C-alpha cells in the first residue's frame, strides 16, 4: 500500500511540475513563496518566546534540583538563535532562485 501511495504521489508531482513548466511563467512559484512567507512570519513570532520559556523552565528545574545544567541551557540558547536565523536563510535562498 505504501509503494502504491508513493507511486501515486510521485506521478501527481511530476504531472504538476510538467503542467507548471508548460505554462512558461513563474506563477506556480508565487503560491509556494507566499506560503513560505507566512510560515516564516509565524516562526519568527513564536521562536523567541518558546526559547525564553525553555530557558526559564531549565533554570527553574536547576533551582529545584540544586544542580545547574549549563550545557543544556547553552544548547537551548544556541538552538533558539538558530531557529530565529533560519527563516532569514530561507528568504535569502528563495530570493536567489527567482
Asked whether residue 59 is assigned to any structural domain, the reply reads: yes
98 membership: H or E segment, kind and range: none
Structural domain containing residue 70? 26-96
What is the pTM for the complete model shown?
Answer: 0.53
The total domain count for the chain is 1
**Best CA proximity match to 95, nearest among 24, 14, 40:** 40
Written as nine digits, the cell of 37 is 512567507
Written as nine digits, the cell of 68 is 545547574
* Percentage of the chain exceeding pLDDT 90: 3
pLDDT, residue 64, reads 92
Mean pLDDT within 43-59: 85
Q: Classify 17 in phi/psi space as left (phi over 0), alpha (psi -120 to 50) or beta.
A: alpha
Quick check: 19 pLDDT over 60? no
Asked whether residue 5 is assigned to any structural domain, the reply reads: no
In which band, very low, low, confident or very high, does the pLDDT at 38 lie, cut at 50, 70 and 90?
A: confident
Mean pLDDT within 24-39: 66
Amino acid at each position: 500500500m505504501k509503494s502504491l501511495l508513493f507511486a501515486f504521489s510521485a506521478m501527481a508531482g511530476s504531472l504538476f511540475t510538467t503542467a507548471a513548466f508548460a505554462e512558461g511563467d513563474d506563477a506556480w512559484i508565487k503560491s509556494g513563496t507566499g506560503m513560505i512567507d507566512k510560515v516564516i512570519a509565524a516562526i519568527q513570532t513564536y521562536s523567541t518566546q518558546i526559547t525564553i520559556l525553555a530557558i526559564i523552565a531549565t533554570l527553574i528545574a536547576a533551582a529545584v534540583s540544586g544542580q545547574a545544567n549549563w550545557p543544556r541551557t547553552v544548547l537551548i540558547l544556541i538552538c533558539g538563535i538558530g531557529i530565529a536565523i533560519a527563516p532569514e536563510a530561507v528568504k535569502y535562498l528563495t530570493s536567489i532562485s527567482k
